[in-house]
């Protein structure tokens, strides 16, 4: 059985979902961002318990087709940004291939449900990833720009300032370094 889970954005989310399923005596076969495969069918009582546990940490089981597509888009965004294996392929081409759906359809579905574009949402995620890199990794702005698929550090800096309100160099020196969780990004749209 496959379950689709909204707001899974990191390894700790995957681990939390796996442990939650195991506590319900379920056997997870595969746990990925936004998608979980388990050996058995969930009983209604198990599904309700899992749903309650997940909601407490900002996660949610998704059951409608459009919601599942949105979760797959978001999971693919994270994969795209975090995988060194993925070449500098255009994200729209990458997404269409991964989901085997037309990008226009994906874009329209995303915009209707999320009230923002895929591109804008991706930019927000990139900036949160950039903040992590600035705060926790010893990388130059050029290296960060390259890792986040910007054409150059100037373009990256412009986008960073446009979204955060401050240039990356200023952000690095802020005393209170503000980052957002995936749930907060969804709420701020």
Q: At residue 90, what are phi and psi to the nearest 5 degrees?
A: -55, 135
C-alpha to C-alpha distances, 135 to 61, 142, 155, 168, 176, nearest whole angstrom: 32, 15, 20, 10, 11
User: Is pLDDT at 37 greater than 90 in this prediction?
Assistant: yes
- The two three-digit tokens of residue 164, written as one number: 């955060």
pLDDT digits (tens, 9 = 90+) for 51-71: 999 999 999 998 888 888 998
User: Is pLDDT at 87 greater than 80 in this prediction?
Assistant: no
User: Is pLDDT at 188 greater than 70 in this prediction?
Assistant: no
Whether the pTM exceeds 0.75: the reply is: no
Are residues 20 and 54 in contact, defined by beta-carbon separation less than 8 angstroms?
yes
pLDDT digits (tens, 9 = 90+) for 91-120: 899 999 999 999 999 999 999 988 999 999
> What is the arithmetic mean of pLDDT over 178-189?
65
pLDDT at res. 181 = 67
Catalogue all structural domains in the chain, each as residue range(s) with its CATH number. 2-63 (3.30.70.100), 67-188 (1.10.10.60)
Helix, strand or coil, per DSSP, at residue 87: coil
Give per-residue burial for 52-85: e unless 16+ CB within 10 Å, then b: ebbeeebbbbbeeeebbbbbbbbbbbbbbbeeee
Helices 65-82 and 103-114 pack at an angle, to 10 degrees, of 110
């Amino acid at each position: 059985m496959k379950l689709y889970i909204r707001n899974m954005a990191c390894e700790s989310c995957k681990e939390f979902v796996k442990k939650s399923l195991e506590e319900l005596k379920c056997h997870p076969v595969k746990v990925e961002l936004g998608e979980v495969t388990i050996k058995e069918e969930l009983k209604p009582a198990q599904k309700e318990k899992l749903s309650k546990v997940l909601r407490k940490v900002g996660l949610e089981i998704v059951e409608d087709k459009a919601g599942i597509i949105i979760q797959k888009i978001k999971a693919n965004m994270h994969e795209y940004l975090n995988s060194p294996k993925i070449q500098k392929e255009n994200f729209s081409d990458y997404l269409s291939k991964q989901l085997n759906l037309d990008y226009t359809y994906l874009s329209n579905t995303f915009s209707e449900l999320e009230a923002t574009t895929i591109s804008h949402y991706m930019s927000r995620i990139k900036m949160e990833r950039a903040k992590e890199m600035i705060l926790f990794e010893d990388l130059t702005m050029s290296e960060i720009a390259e890792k986040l698929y910007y054409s150059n550090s100037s373009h990256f800096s412009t986008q960073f300032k446009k979204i955060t309100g401050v240039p990356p160099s200023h952000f690095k020196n802020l005393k209170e370094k503000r980052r957002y969780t995936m749930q907060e990004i969804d709420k701020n749209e």
